[in-house]
Amino acid sequence: MYPHIHLGPLTFQTFGLMFAIAFLAAAALIGRRLREIGKPADWAYEVGFAALVGGIVGARLYFIIQNYQSVKHDLIGSIFSGSGLVWYGGVIGGALAVVLWPATAISLASSCST
């Protein structure tokens, strides 16, 4: 396995690169399906972004909760460190974000139009 890809002076983390490619591919696939059923394709990217942010936040929070004894000495530093994502937290956070996205999108649209 290659954890880093070096292209000239740039170094890419393969986990982050594949993570980004996966979300972009999923959003493109969902956008295509939404167009097929006559819905706005923009929804796919909004939902994908909500899932991405919710998944990362959820995975990080689940990691902090699960490993509280080892991270409690530097809680803020542990939140923003470069490691520690838990799969279950990502699924929970991403699902919550996707479920809550329509409510927040509607409330934001109505507050902006008044």
pLDDT confidence of residue 97: 93
pTM of the predicted protein model: 0.74
Please report, for the chain, the start and end positions of each structural domain, with discontinuous segments joined by +: 10-113
pLDDT confidence of residue 93: 94
DSSP assignment of 82-105 equals S----HHHHHHHHHHHHHHHHHHH
CA–CA gap between residue 18 and residue 24 (Å, rounded): 10
CA–CA gap between residue 24 and residue 45 (Å, rounded): 8
Q: Within the chain, which residues score under 70 in pLDDT?
A: 1, 82, 106-114
- What would the pLDDT profile of 61-79 be if each residue is shown by its tens digit? 998 889 888 888 887 777 7
CA–CA gap between residue 105 and residue 64 (Å, rounded): 29
Separation in Å, CA 52 to CA 1, 19, 105: 25, 9, 16
Q: Can you read off the two tokens belonging to residue 69?
A: 């004894």
pLDDT confidence of residue 47: 87
